[in-house]
């Protein structure tokens, strides 16, 4: 049996799923249950060699949380976003998920390593261990004094998005709207500008996915690091507010940055729907556009595993080898596939993390 192509993934929501799971956490992480998109056994079979593991704090709710997948099933839509969260309300869940990522390392020391540098990522992958990098999707757990950023950095945080789609004290996220534009709302706050500078100082990657266009431009003006959107697609092909315009893609290319292709159907399908019948042609059209606009050194994967509706052709992490087969059939050669699978991400992290 041919070994799978090792790949690095720019975004998953496994930590949130692990925190919320009613099953024992060892079963969710170490078992081969087939539930949702990820577990250690399936990741190893698929060639998942490393990735950014997101800490995402759900909004408080008096009732059942909104079913965004159902609400986005039939475009057009423009979903109201929850209000900002106080950092003291967000920190318990954020700390729980950070602790779970450390536990994943302890629970599978021969198969998984929490990594704090690009060198550690390459070392883990070379030794056959999955390289996990702590990411924060929305900086709600960071207070206005930024002290908590130092604490999370000490725990291993190496990638941070200032916002999810709700506002924070640092900036404004894009709504979940189709059709929609990322050009909505003001840019970074003064605290947001301070956050960007401190992330640069600490060597924390700044994730532009979910940030509105004015905030994107502010990061581009302030940051000295590569511009990175961990899990976004091309607005030109799917005009969701969450996707990147060609102007933004050109800026990312100019700044030696990176975009991770999002596997979520509502950011792939031209009609913005959650229809999981998405064909390889739709996915490859997005990849072609990203490569044509960014260049082949600035594109990778940002799957959104455990946080989205996937195309049936992928299904879960074990469907990624089928994507590689479709890429080969489409004319991508082995060198390009290797770049898209992992080398572009690793090179970007080498330029960013300290």
Write the pLDDT tens digit of every residue in 116-164: 999 999 999 999 999 999 999 999 999 999 999 999 999 999 999 999 9
Strand segments, DSSP code E, in the chain are 7-12, 48-55, 77-79, 112-114, 130-137, 157-161, 176-178, 205-206, 228-229, 258-261, 299-301
Separation of alpha carbons 306 and 293, rounded Å: 28
Separation of alpha carbons 267 and 40, rounded Å: 26
* Lowest-pLDDT range of 60-69, 83-92, 147-156, 201-210: 60-69
pLDDT in tens, 17-29: 999 999 999 999 9
Q: Where are the domains of the chain?
A: 7-59+75-352
pLDDT in tens, 228-268: 999 999 999 999 999 999 999 999 999 999 999 999 999 99
- What region does 310 belong to: left with phi over 0, alpha with psi -120 to 50, or beta? beta
At residue 346, does pLDDT exceed 80?
yes
Q: Which of 99, 97, 104, 5 is nearest to 45 (CA)?
A: 5
Tell me what pLDDT residue 21 has.
95
Contacts of 186-190 spanning 24+ positions with Cβ under 8 A: 186/214, 187/212, 187/214, 187/215, 187/217, 187/218, 188/162, 188/214, 188/215, 188/218, 188/219, 188/222
Residues paired with 55 in a beta bridge: 136
Residue 313: half-sphere exposure toward Cβ, Cα within 13 Å? 18
Summary mean pLDDT of the chain: 97
266-291 mean pLDDT: 97
Tell me what pLDDT residue 63 has.
72
Separation of alpha carbons 173 and 138, rounded Å: 9
Per-residue burial over 280-318, b = 16 or more CB atoms within 10 Å of its CB, e = otherwise: bebbbbbbbbbbebbeebbbbbbbbbbbbbbbebbebbb
Tell me what pLDDT residue 74 has.
86
Per-residue tokens: 188: 């970074």
Tell me what pLDDT residue 124 has.
99
Element housing 34 (H / E): none
pLDDT in tens, 283-342: 999 999 999 999 999 999 999 999 999 999 999 999 999 999 999 999 999 999 999 999
33-48 mean pLDDT: 96
At residue 62, does pLDDT exceed 90?
no
At residue 343, does pLDDT exceed 90?
yes
Per-residue tokens: 4: 């799978």
Write down the CATH number for the domain with range 7-59+75-352. Answer: 3.20.20.140
Question: What phi and psi, each to the nearest 5 degrees, are found at residue 84?
Answer: -60, 155
Counting every residue written for the chain, the total comes to 354
Alpha carbon 184 to its chain's center: 21
* Lowest-pLDDT range of 186-190, 294-298, 350-354: 350-354
Separation of alpha carbons 256 and 228, rounded Å: 9
At residue 1, does pLDDT exceed 70?
no
Q: pTM here?
A: 0.97
At residue 72, does pLDDT exceed 90?
no
Tell me what pLDDT residue 66 has.
73
Question: Cβ-count burial of 161 within 10 angstroms (0-12 exposed, 13-18 middle, 19+ buried)?
Answer: buried
Contact assessment for residue 229 and residue 219, using Cβ atoms and an 8 Å cutoff: no
């Amino acid at each position: 049996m041919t070994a799978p192509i090792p790949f690095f993934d720019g975004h998953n929501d496994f930590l949130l799923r692990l925190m919320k799971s009613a099953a024992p956490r060892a079963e969710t992480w170490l078992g081969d249950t087939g539930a949702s998109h990820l577990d250690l056994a399936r990741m190893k079979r698929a060639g998942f060699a490393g990735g950014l593991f997101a800490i995402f704090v759900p909004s408080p709710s008096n009732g059942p949380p909104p079913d965004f997948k159902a609400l986005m099933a039939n475009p057009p839509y423009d979903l109201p976003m929850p209000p900002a969260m106080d950092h003291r309300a967000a920190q318990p869940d954020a700390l729980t998920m950070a602790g779970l990522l450390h536990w994943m390392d302890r629970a599978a020391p021969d198969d998984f390593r929490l990594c704090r540098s690009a060198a550690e990522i390459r070392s883990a992958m070379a030794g056959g261990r999955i390289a996990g990098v702590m990411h924060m999707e929305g900086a709600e757990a960071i207070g206005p004094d930024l002290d908590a950023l130092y604490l999370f950095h000490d725990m291993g945080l190496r990638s941070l998005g200032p916002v999810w789609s709700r506002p924070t004290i640092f900036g404004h996220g894009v709504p979940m709207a189709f059709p929609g534009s990322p050009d909505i709302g003001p840019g970074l706050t003064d605290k947001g500008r301070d956050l960007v500078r401190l992330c640069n100082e600490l060597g924390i990657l700044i994730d532009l996915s979910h940030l509105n266009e004015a905030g994107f431009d502010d990061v581009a003006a302030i940051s000295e690091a590569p511009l990175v959107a961990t899990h976004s697609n091309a607005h030109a092909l799917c005009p969701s507010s969450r996707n990147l315009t060609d102007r933004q893609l050109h800026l990312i290319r100019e700044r030696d940055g990176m975009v991770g292709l999002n596997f979520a159907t509502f950011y792939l399908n031209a009609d913005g729907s959650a229809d999981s019948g998405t064909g390889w042609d739709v996915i490859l059209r997005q990849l072609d556009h990203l490569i044509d606009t960014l260049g082949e050194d600035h594109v990778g994967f940002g799957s959104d595993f455990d946080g989205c509706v996937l195309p049936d052709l992928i299904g879960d992490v074990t469907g990624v080898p089928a994507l590689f087969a479709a890429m080969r059939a489409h004319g991508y050669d082995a060198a390009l596939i290797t770049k898209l699978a992992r080398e572009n991400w690793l090179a970007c992290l080498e330029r960013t993390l300290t």
